[in-house]
Structure 1
């Protein structure tokens, strides 16, 4: 039996994409709709997989149906792959009124990325160059290697890169606020509402902001980089590297901020009432069990946890 905090498998996401194509761009029969409801109920993770991809269909609902059906009818005859399905959705978005800018809110770049994680999932692996890479929850990257250089693009979320210094090709990193370059760096990048959080643990790392002069970032430094190109050294209430060891480690973090951080690792809705948002949280918490983290909060703070459903949770005053 899967736990409430575990994420749907890739096969379930693939099935959800197939259902999206059938239901959004075809004329489903009552039997098809009945089969869809049966699929939703057949596994606890299927609704999560459907939630992850169904918004694509909602955003594309305004496209000319005749165009989408003709294209998809042809694609179904050819039994196209999951990645081709998603490319097709991207093409339809570009061809319709949504335009190319719609790809980001639709989530298409993340779904098309070389490597991605679902909510609550973390992955680590070794690249073909020997570099060690870790992806945090709900994140996506693209990787590209050539004779001249290695390249990583942060599409969404958070990544840790421990570059192999024995490979003499420079490692270029693309983000929405600029580029970085390193050869032997161990660095962490997190896309956030303000722009980009950058932390360096080891090596020589140079930041090339989109509209500012290059800046060498030293080991031990943590910078907030804004879209304007400006940046500032910051001190955080949490260890930005904690998730790479599977923990959320905080010191005197306001509860509202802590809950917002924890919500990144849980599917569904997690809210904190304003009257308890300023309470302070300290400690190291295992991210593998977010439900246990919520329970621990009730032991150390005057708060209660209310479950409307397992995916709709509120923290309020005890």
Structure 2
């Protein structure tokens, strides 16, 4: 049981990240077993007990079933080779299980590699309730009247029940606006929570962003306030006010800082920077662009200020090249560098 489950005054937040990975593997194993043609009535009964045991088991199974529709979009040479292997293995249970598991789990050598290369995100992201690919954004209206805006390459699960309103950010970035903030006077006694691998954020009638990247969660409050707790110290809460931001990492919640006034400009389609290095600008633009976007070390420390369109990174690079002593060097559309002019 997680520390959140033991100590959270806002209620159970569900299985911790490590348990979620285990549940996904169990779901895949059950899927392979039931598709093997060798499942016994006892196997089916055991699966039903597993399925009923926890809501997360049912969610994992539903997502696995939903991937059958997704697999219809897999490039033919990947799908066909996997299905041929499975078909030929009907008399070899172990080969069949490998074939089914390859399809069900995303297959590092097949389906998952194709999805990741195509901007589809990591394996956990592929099973998320909502997700975006590289360069995409998505607006989501939640059942309670709250809203989410997902930034590029982001993935979330949404779990609303009688005791909580939980948004689990698997990866990427979101902007959340609670129903209370959108519709003053509305009331919902259930806490509105955003959870990442690093911690948990309790909304206090607010608008805020959460970004999870490289083992760090950054929380920025745009209006009102939130309460922040680290996963490894859930008993300690930090109240973060509008105009503040804080990072949560493996060492807990950091020291609050003044937020960048343009930190949520991505919601309006812009990257707004003030005295950033060119390397930092390029790294941020790369989040919205498929392929490789790099910066030559010779120009990496140039200082940049300005606003750049994130939905047209070619135009953003062109603006930089006109404004600074750099040029855009392209091997292909997907292999681009900024180098000295």
CA distance in 2, matches of 1:13, 1:286: 33
- Secondary structure at the aligned position of 1:276 is classed as coil
Aligned counterpart in structure 2 of residue 184 of structure 1, from 191, 205, 222: 205
Which shifted more, 251-260 or 11-20? 11-20
What's the offset of the Cα at 1:181?
1.1
Aligned: 1:175 with 2:196: yes
Give the one of 198, 214, 232 matched to 1:193: 214
1:267 aligns with one of 286, 290, 294: 290
Indicate the SS of the match to 2:322.
helix
Q: 1:68 aligns with which of 81, 98, 112?
A: 98
1:54-88 per-residue CA deviation (whole Å, 9 max, x = no partner) reads: xxxxxxxxxx644223x47xxxxxxxxxxxx97x2
Q: Does residue 1:255 correspond to 2:254, yes or no?
A: no
Is the CA contact 1:185–1:204 (under 8 Å) kept in the aligned structure 2? yes
Q: Which runs of 5+ in 2 are unaligned?
A: 1-68, 87-93, 109-120, 181-185
Shift of residue 203, structure 1, vs aligned partner: 2.5
Aligned pair partner of 1:16 in 70, 74, 79: 74
| C-alpha separation in 2, matches of 1:164 and 1:140 | 21
Aligned length: 246
Q: Residue 282 of structure 1 corresponds to which residue in structure 2?
A: 305
Residue 205 of structure 1 pairs with residue 263 of structure 2: no
Question: SS of the counterpart of 1:26?
Answer: helix
- Equivalent residues of 1:238, 1:250 under 8 A apart: no
Is residue 112 from structure 1 mapped to residue 142 from structure 2 by the alignment?
no
User: What is the RMSD of the two structures over their aligned residues, measured on CA atoms?
Assistant: 2.6
* Cα distance in 2, alignment partners of residues 183 and 19 from structure 1: 50
The 2-side partners of 1:14 and 1:186 are apart by: 38
Is the aligned partner of 1:243 residue 2:273? no
How far apart in 1 are the matches of 2:257 and 2:270? 21
Kindly provide the CA deviation profile for residues 14-68 of structure 1, in whole angstroms up to 9, marking residues without a partner as x: 512775443346349xxxxxxxxxxxxxxxxxxxxxxxxxxxxxxxxxxx64422
Residue 292 of structure 1 aligns to a residue whose secondary structure is helix
- Give the match for residue 303 of structure 1: 326
**Secondary structure, counterpart of 1:181 in structure 2:** strand
Could you say what secondary structure the match of 2:126 adopts?
Answer: helix
Aligned counterpart, 1:5: none
CA drift at 1:125: 2.5
Match of 1:45 in 2: none
Whole-angstrom distance in 2 between the partners of 1:182 and 1:236: 17
Structure 1 stretches lacking a partner, 5+ long: 1-10, 29-63, 73-84, 94-105
Q: Would you say the 8 A contact 1:225–1:232 is kept in 2?
A: no
Residue in 1 that maps onto 2:248: 225
How far does residue 170 in structure 1 lie from its aligned partner after superposition? 1.1
Once the 2 structures are TM-superposed, how far is the Cα of residue 285 of structure 1 from its aligned partner?
1.3
Is the radius of gyration larger for structure 1 or structure 2?
A: 2
Normalising by structure 2, report the TM-score: 0.66
